Amino acid sequence: MAAATALVLGGTGEGRELAALLAGVPGLRVLSSLAGRVANPRLPVGEVRVGGFGGVDGLVGHLRAEGVTALVDATHPFAERITANAAAASARTGVPLLVLRRPGWTERPGDDWTWVDSLAEAAAAIGDRRALITTGRQGVGAFRRGLARMVDPPDEVAPGVRVLLDRGPYTLDSELDLLRDNDIGVLVTKDSGGGMTSAKLDAARALGVPVVLVRRPPLPPDARTAASAGEAAAWVRARLG
């Protein structure tokens, strides 16, 4: 039986990379957990569970039942509730928590960015411009019009919003074509960071299309963080001692 168990709350490229880095580490069992909100998700290597825990109490029970000795929150930067639950469960059980968050995007010369704090503010910032909305299926309800790209269809969408189902990674050429062909006047996105979907920002810069970015929610107070899967893997390995 493994001497230690790492639970990775995943669903991101960093979570999959971390699971791969930890696979085969002597004395370590790695369990990845996915929320199950995306159909046909990309699965990490190793042991995987899919579905929510049922709040803080459910996560606490899972940590204890599985003998988890290290917890890594490698969820999406905007998965605020999951991150808060992980922090609360860590505090109640004493299981150490690391929050793995890739860096956000950085404005470059030629960018025309407007930062907002919520999807409602983003919707208000669009004005009369035709928008490409890339904030995900769960946030599309905040918008009354525009072209919304997402992986899975939303539960509900306003009559003025057209849905485009597509999955990245995207290329600069395909993003340029999308902006031109749909006469996009503004791009709306969250500050997710990473390279998988950053081509849309490059395309907007090249075409002079303004961008409205939603800021990330704050992390729990005193959260221990890592910016890469490599850093997180080193932290988990250090817990083996």
Please, are residues 3 and 216 in contact by the beta-carbon 8 Å criterion?
A: no
Rounded CA-CA distance 77/34 in Å is: 14
- With beta carbons less than 8 A apart as the criterion, state whether 109 and 205 touch: no
Q: Which residues of 232-241 are buried (b: 16+ CB within 10 A; e: fewer)?
A: bbebbbeeee
Residue range 84-105, pLDDT digits in tens: 999 999 999 999 999 999 999 9
What pLDDT shows up at residue 65? 96
Residues in the chain: 241
Mean pLDDT of 35-41: 71
Structure token pair of residue 20:
């791969």
Looking at residue 240, its pLDDT comes to 86
User: What pLDDT was estimated at residue 38?
Assistant: 66
Percentages helix, strand, coil for the chain, rounded to the nearest 5?
A: 35, 25, 45
- pLDDT recorded at residue 10: 93
- pLDDT band for 42, please (50, 70, 90 cuts): confident
The string of pLDDT tens digits covering residues 54-78 is 999 999 999 999 999 999 999 999 9
- Which domains, from first to last, does the chain contain? 4-103+218-239 (3.40.50.720), 113-214 (3.40.50.720)
